[in-house]
Structure 1
């Protein structure tokens, strides 16, 4: 009896060796020496294997950083920085697959289908961090806009992953810089600014 992990590993090995998906589930399971029913017990399609691979890498990263003793002492900004630095370290172990998976997804300006299962997990994680920042006063609570903070962070997620895929610098140093600058600029926008004070003053005068 095959396990979900064995099927996933065999699929990843196949696509990286052949640079394409297997022709059919039938031909794939035949080489794996399992039945189609065993395959469908875990996955509905080849696409679902890729989606699950991304989900597992994301959940692994979140679980790891949240178990760190210092995690509870981090600011919201530091928590997101920690996530992205750690996420890239996890992705490095599977770089060939990540590059293959994203190249198959086509349009870089919309959420790839392969990340459809990852997006709600990341957004839930980011929203919890944002809410902590709003409660502590680290982030500005702006009517309507605060609800869109998580959308801005998802854009950062897509940008950072795509940037890393194309990064050819030693040790992916440019990706580290992109993470630092991108998250810092985003959180600077999330925090209170003189414009917030001006807006509140305007409401006071009206």
Structure 2
């Protein structure tokens, strides 16, 4: 009886050995000595295997870091840093396969293989952002606050692409890219002198309208 893990392992071994997908589900199933019916009990296509592996890696990372005792003590910034540091460690275990699944995509677009990852990551990021907004760590800006998760998805894509091409020892440059990228992003999320200037402008505008009404009544 075939198992999901058996099919996944067989698929990963095949694509890394041949640098291409199997010609058909039939030939792949035959190689694994299973039936097509057994294959389709777990996966709809070869692409669904790749998406599942990515999704499982993302969920594993989130589950691992969120179960740490110190997790609730982390700031929103530290939680996102912890995610990316841990995510890279998980991806290291299957780096060759990660590179294979992303080899044909254009950097300016989201690869189809990450279509299942994006909503999971954005939901995770949204929860972190909401915690930061509630605690006052992050600035609650009208319209812009809802776009914070989009900025973090851009960082996700940047860090992933950086890691794939990183040739430094133990991917030290990727660690630096994570630190710099997330810190800059969260600096932008936090309240700045521009926010104070904007609030002051609204204050002057409201009071100017009030003074006009007072003069009109007088």
The TM-score bracket by the shorter chain reads: over 0.9
CA RMSD in angstroms comes to 0.5
Structure 1 stretches of 4+ moved >3 Å: none
CA deviations 1:31-84 (Å, max 9, x no partner) are 111111111111110000000000000000000000100000000000000000
| Structure 2 unpaired stretches of 5+ | 206-218
Work out whether 1:126 is the aligned partner of 2:120: no
Work out whether 1:150 is the aligned partner of 2:149: yes
Work out whether 1:41 is the aligned partner of 2:41: yes
2:193 aligned residue: 194
1:14 aligned residue: 14
Query: For 1:45-124, what aligned pairs fall within 5 Å after superposition?
Result: 45-104=45-104, 106-124=105-123
CA deviations 1:74-128 (Å, max 9, x no partner) are 0000000000000000000000000111103x21111000000000000000000
1:137 aligned residue: 136
Compute the TM-score of the two structures, normalised by the length of structure 2.
0.93
1:25 aligned residue: 25
CA deviations 1:9-46 (Å, max 9, x no partner) are 10000000000000000000001111111111111100
CA deviations 1:145-196 (Å, max 9, x no partner) are 0000000000000110110000000110100000000000000000000000
| Structure 1 unpaired stretches of 5+ | none
Secondary structure (helix, strand or coil) at the match of 2:84 reads helix
Find the aligned partners of 1:107 and 1:168 in 2 and give their Cα distance: 20
1:162 aligned residue: 161
Q: How many residues align?
A: 205
* CA-CA distance at 1:133 after TM superposition: 0.1
Find the aligned partners of 2:24 and 2:115 in 1 and give their Cα distance: 23
